[in-house]
Structure 1
Amino acid sequence: MKRLSILQQAALVVFAVLLLDQSVKIWIKMTMKIGDSFQVFGNWFYILFTENKGMAFGMEFGGDFGKLALSLFRIVAVIGIGWYLHKLSKSNASKGLIFGLALVLAGALGNIIDSMVYGMLFTDSYGRMAEFLPAAGGYASFLHGRVVDMLYFPLFEGFYPSWIPFVGGEEFVFFRPIFNIADSSISIGVVYLLIFHRKELFKEEHKTIEDQETPAKNAE
């Protein structure tokens, strides 16, 4: 059997993450309503169905215009990461560097799919389970779909000490944000790159800048 190239291996990682991410999201959309939840392990891991219009971990950005801008930025970022991955596959970059970038790319693509088409493919999930391909159309237009989140890890909770300004005495939960598999892929990829491949990553970026500047210098 012919051995897969490094680029094919990276594509396989992206495909696997996307398949898992989208399978879970579609299952959640078709079987749960916004706010529905169930325990997975004890009191520290729940599946809790939420949706957000913005960035990872439930953060939002500037209403409808911000949503459109964020979606377009994601598309540009994915194209850039994809190009960079292809460039690295032709060089002597390590498999670890390419693997980390593939995780980031897969996560970004996973959330882009939600933003691009979920609004057209599904009805909303407020008070009901979503309908797939509704005759009357979906709940939003192209690039305005909401990102499906469901992973909730309230590892521990308590109260802020009374001496802390503004929040003293208020309840806190760690970890409060609700996220999805695509968010996890991005986070794992970024942390992995910063811990194990930071020097190589910055070296490749510096080399890319030098390669772009060389034709301009030669032209002078």
Structure 2
Amino acid sequence: MSLKKAYILVFLVLIIDQVSKIYIKTHFFIGESIKVMGLDWFQIHFIENEGMAWGAVIPGEYGKLFLTLFRIVAVGGIGWWLWDSVRKNASNYLKVAIALILAGAVGNIIDSVFYGVIFNDSYHQVATLFSDEPYGRWFHGEVVDMLYFPIWEGNLPSWLPVWGGKPFSFFNAIFNVADVAISTGVGILIVFNKKAFGK
């Protein structure tokens, strides 16, 4: 895979990610959800993530800024890794994986850097793009998540230690296209490890 093709893959993932996020921001309010094709286990459920995976945050006034700047530095490193892998004619498994991880990371950085100043808030209302009353500041935007697959919900059997008899949901994470790209890239590196790093 050439560097041009890798960048095309990154660009396509970014377009899908940002179009889906902008659509959700301008058509849903936070907490709103719909079932896709009437399926209970596939839903669009709009939330915003202030921090890292699973809503984790870095406490303090500058926690969000630190996280965003760290992501930008990490993207620089991933971009260099992609360039170096192409230069060394590494496996296509590795190049595709890095391109997907890069695209996902950039997709979520766009939210963090820009969304706070181009959208108003989404609480009890649909947000407006290029609003006169933005909800945040530069580098303090929130990441849009919407893909939800609650495959099974119910109470766990009472005989299970610790969690027995308690409500449980599988799979309860809510994520976005950028997260899917990152997870797919990491999955390729794990599952096809020998082929990815064979050279």
The TM-score normalised by the length of structure 2 is: 0.93
Match of 2:46 among 34, 44, 49: 49
Point out the structure with max Rg over C-alpha.
1
Tell me how many residue pairs correspond in the alignment.
197
RMSD of the TM alignment (CA)? 1.7
Q: Is the 8 A contact 2:189 2:196 kept in 1?
A: no
Secondary structure of the residue that 1:151 maps to in structure 2?
A: strand
Residue aligning to 1:109 = 106
Which digits, 9 at most, give the CA deviation of each residue in 1:62-88, with x for residues without a partner?
Answer: 234332222111111100000111111
CA contact (8 A) 2:92 2:196 kept: no
Alignment check: 8 A CA contact 2:111 2:144 kept: yes
Task: Indicate if the aligned counterparts of 1:119 and 1:142 stay in contact, CA closer than 8 A.
Answer: yes
TM-superposition CA deviations, 1:13-48 (whole Å, max 9, x none): 100000000000000000110011111141110000
Moved over 6 A (4+): none
SS at 2:98's partner residue?
helix
Say which of 118, 130, 135 aligns to 2:115. 118
| Structure 2 spans left out of the alignment, 5+ residues | none
Amino acid at match of 1:67: K
Deviations 1:94-126 (A, max 9, x none): 122101100000000000000000000000100
Structure-2 separation of matches of 1:176 and 1:18: 24
**Residue 186 of structure 2 is aligned to residue 190 of structure 1:** yes
TM-score when scaled to structure 1?
0.84
Q: Distance in 2 between matches of 1:77 and 1:107?
A: 12
Task: Tell me which residue corresponds to 1:156.
Answer: 152
| Map 1:1-220 → 2, pairs under 5 A | 6-41=2-37, 42-56=39-53, 58-63=54-59, 64-136=61-133, 138-198=134-194, 200-201=196-197
Answer whether contact 2:29 2:125 (CA < 8 A) is retained: yes
> Is the contact between residue 15 and residue 106 of structure 1 (CA under 8 Å) also seen in structure 2?
yes
> Secondary structure of the residue that 2:36 maps to in structure 1?
strand
Structure 1 unaligned spans of 5+? 205-220
Structure 2 equivalent of residue 217 of structure 1: none
CA deviation vs aligned residue, 1:113-149 (integer Å, no higher than 9, x gap): 000000000001000000122223x111111100000
